[in-house]
Amino acid sequence: MLVHLSVRDFAIVDTLELAHGPGFTVLTGETGAGKSILIDALALALGERADADQIRQGCDRADVTAEFAIDALADVQRWISDQALEGDPGILLLRRVVERNGRSRAFINGHPATLAQLREIGDQLVDIHGQHAHQSLLRQTMQRQVLDAHAGLSELAREVSEGYRKWQQLAKSRQEHQSHAAVRDREREQLSWQVDELSKLALLPGEWESVQVEQSRLAHAASLIEGVQAALDALSESDSAMLGSLSGVLARLRPLVAYDESLAEALALLESSQAQAREAVYALRHYSGRIELDPQRLRGIEQRLEGIHAIARKYRVKPEGLPDLLDDLRARLQQLEIASDIEALSEMEQAASARYRECAGMLSVGRKKAAAKLSREVTAAMRELAMTGGRFQVALRELREGGASGGEEVEFLVAANAGAEPRPLAKVASGGELSRISLAIQVITSRAAAVPTLIFDEVDAGIGGAVAEVVGKKLRALGAARQVLCVTHLPQVAAQAVQQWSVEKALDGQGAKCRVRLLDPGARIEEIARMLGGVEVTATTRKHAAEMLGAG
C-alpha cells in the first residue's frame, strides 16, 4: 500500500509531502489545478519514461519518492531479497531523479537501480487506469491482454508467444535448408577444414603470452646468466664484495652508538640494507640455478611462435584471439551440421510445434472459461451504469494455424440496447457509452488484480447523475479490499470516498504552484458544493453536498 508520496520540483509542484491511507481516496480540484500531475509523479517513481520538460521551470532536477508498506506482500519482499535491494523492514522506497540534461537516476531502498527493476516492482504495487484507458480498449491487442490478465493467464500467454517464436524459427531454418543446401554445404566444408587446422595448432587460452615470455628468457639466457653472476660477485663473492664491506662498516658504527644515539637511525638503515642485500643474493642464487642455455628448447619455442603468427596472419586476427576464433567456428559448424540434418531439423520443428499447440490449447481452455465469466460480470456492471439493455461479450475466434498470441483472436463485442446484435466495441459505443463500458471493465478486472493499490485518473469522464453515484459506490466497494485513489470531477464519486484531497493551483512571484490539503468534514462539504454549483456556492448546494456525504 502507498503510504507516502514526496515530490520536489515536478511540473508545477515545488514541494509536496502527501500521506495516503487505506480505502477509497479522491483527489478533486479545479481543472488545471494539477490533480493528474500527482499521478504522473507517482508513475515516474514506478519507472515511467522521464522527460526534462517535467522539471519545474527554473529548477535543475525533479525528485519523486514513493513509500510503500509491504508487510503483507510476501512476493514483493522476496523480489527485494533476490535483487539484494533490502531496506527497512516492511518498507519499500522507490525514488526517481530527473536531471535538466534529460538523464534520470533510479533508486530502490536507497540502492541504485535500473528502470527495468523499477517497472518490475512497480507492476506488483500499483495499477494505474489512465484518462484514455477507454481508447486503448478499442485495440484488440489490449482486449486480449485485459482478458489474460483478468484470468491469470499472462504468464502462459508469454510462454505461448515464445513457443510460437521458436517453432517459426525452426520452420524457417528447415525451409532455408531446403532452398540453400548447396551454399550451406560449401560453407560447412570450409568451416570443417578451418576448425581442423586450428585444432591441430592446439593453442590454449593464455599460451601465446606464456610462450612469448619463455622465448624472451631462452633467447637472452647467456646475458641473464652473465648478468646474474656479475651481480653475485659484486654482492658477495668477490674480494671487494658489497656485503663484506657493509659488514665492516656496521662493525665500526655499532660501538659508536653508545657515545651518540643519533647514529642509531643510520645504523638501522644500514642493517636493513644488509638484510635486503642478503635476500637478494639468495634470490639470485636460486635464479641462477634454474636458468640455463637450451638451444634446442629455444628452437622449438621459436618454431611454435612462428606457427602461431602464420595462422593468425592467415585468419587476420591477433594471435591471442585464435582460441576464441576456434570456438566461434566450431559453434557455427555445429549450427550448420544441425541445419544440414533435415530429418533432425524436422523432428525439432515438430517437437516445437507440439509444445506450442499444447500450451496454446491450455491457454484456449482458460480463455473460454474467463471469457464467459467476464462477459457476465461486465454485462451486469453495464446495467448498473444505466445501460439497462446492454450486453457485453468476449468473442474468441479460432485461428486455424494459431499465432503468437495463441489459437484464437480475442475481441470485445457490445450491444448498447436490448435486442441489438453485439458488434465490435470500436464500432458501436458512443463516447459516453464507451466511458461507462471501459469503467465497468476496469472495475471488474481490478477485483482480480494482485496489486494492492489501484489508481483511476478521471476514468469517469463522460458520465454523470445517478450513474456517477453508482460509479462512486463501486469504487468505494473496491476500496474495502484495496487502496483506491481516484482523480475525479464528479461530486457523486467524491462523496463516496473515505477521505478527500483538494488540489489547488496558486500563483506567486515564481509562477504557478500546486498545493494539496486533506479536507476535514466541513471542508469536504464546501468542496463538493463547489463541484455541484461551480463558482457560486449557495446554501442550497451546501445542503445538497452535506446530504450526499451523509448518504455516502
The pLDDT, as a whole number, for residue 252 is: 85
pLDDT band at 550 (very low <50, low <70, confident <90, very high): confident
Mean pLDDT within 143-153 = 89
The pLDDT, as a whole number, for residue 251 is: 86
At residue 267, φ and ψ (nearest 5 deg) are -60, -45
* Tens of pLDDT, residues 349-404: 999 999 999 999 999 999 999 999 999 999 988 888 878 888 899 999 999 888 99
Mean pLDDT within 21-32 = 87
Mean pLDDT within 318-334 = 87
Distance, CA of 56 to CA of 42 (rounded, Å): 16
- Higher model confidence: residue 269 or residue 445? 269
The pLDDT, as a whole number, for residue 405 is: 93
Distance, CA of 321 to CA of 343 (rounded, Å): 36
Which position has the grid cell 532455408?
A: 176
For residue 480, pLDDT beyond 80: yes
Mean pLDDT within 248-259 = 85
Q: Which of 262-266, 344-348, 439-443 has the lowest mean pLDDT?
A: 439-443
The pLDDT, as a whole number, for residue 161 is: 94
Q: Which of 3-12, 143-152, 160-169, 201-210 has the lowest mean pLDDT?
A: 201-210
For 455-508, the DSSP string reads EEESTTTT--HHHHHHHHHHHHHHTTTSEEEEE---HHHHTT-SEEEEEEEEEE
The pLDDT, as a whole number, for residue 85 is: 93
The pLDDT, as a whole number, for residue 4 is: 94
Task: Reduce the DSSP state of residue 423 to 3 states and report it.
Answer: strand
CA 378, 379, 383, 384 torsion-angle sign: negative
pLDDT band at 429 (very low <50, low <70, confident <90, very high): low
Distance set, CA 142 to CA 80, 166, 209, 431 (Å): 29, 24, 58, 18
* Tens of pLDDT, residues 166-200: 999 999 888 877 776 667 778 888 888 988 988 88
- How many Cβ atoms sit within 10 Å of the Cβ of residue 176? 14
Mean pLDDT within 312-322 = 87
- Higher model confidence: residue 13 or residue 180? 13
Distance, CA of 367 to CA of 383 (rounded, Å): 24
* Tens of pLDDT, residues 496-546: 999 999 988 877 766 678 888 899 999 999 999 988 876 678 888 889 999
Mean pLDDT within 409-438 = 80
Question: For residues 385 and 465, is the Cβ–Cβ distance under 8 A?
Answer: no
pLDDT band at 552 (very low <50, low <70, confident <90, very high): low
Q: Nearest 5°: CA angle at 503, between 41 and 455? A: 50
Fold type of domain 1-125+497-516? Rossmann fold (3.40.50)
Q: How far is CA 99 from the centre of its chain?
A: 20
Instruction: Report pTM.
Output: 0.59
* Tens of pLDDT, residues 35-85: 788 888 999 999 988 888 889 888 899 999 999 999 988 889 999 999 999
The pLDDT, as a whole number, for residue 432 is: 63
Mean pLDDT of the chain: 85
Q: What are the structural domain ranges in the chain?
A: 1-125+497-516
The pLDDT, as a whole number, for residue 431 is: 63
The pLDDT, as a whole number, for residue 109 is: 95
pLDDT band at 449 (very low <50, low <70, confident <90, very high): low
The pLDDT, as a whole number, for residue 90 is: 92
What is the signed CA dihedral for 408, 412, 413, 416, rounded to 10 degrees? 170
The pLDDT, as a whole number, for residue 341 is: 67
Mean pLDDT within 220-243 = 77
For residue 211, pLDDT beyond 90: no
Report helix, strand and coil shares of the chain as percent, to nearest 5. 60, 20, 25
Task: Reduce the DSSP state of residue 15 to 3 states and report it.
Answer: strand
* Helix 521-533 with 539-551: angle, nearest 10 deg: 120
Distance, CA of 457 to CA of 40 (rounded, Å): 10
Here the cell at position 142 is 489490449
pLDDT band at 294 (very low <50, low <70, confident <90, very high): low
The pLDDT, as a whole number, for residue 216 is: 74
Mean pLDDT within 344-351 = 87
The pLDDT, as a whole number, for residue 376 is: 93
Query: Of all residues in the chain, what percent carry a pLDDT higher than 90?
Result: 29
pLDDT band at 135 (very low <50, low <70, confident <90, very high): low
Task: Reduce the DSSP state of residue 88 to 3 states and report it.
Answer: coil
The pLDDT, as a whole number, for residue 458 is: 74
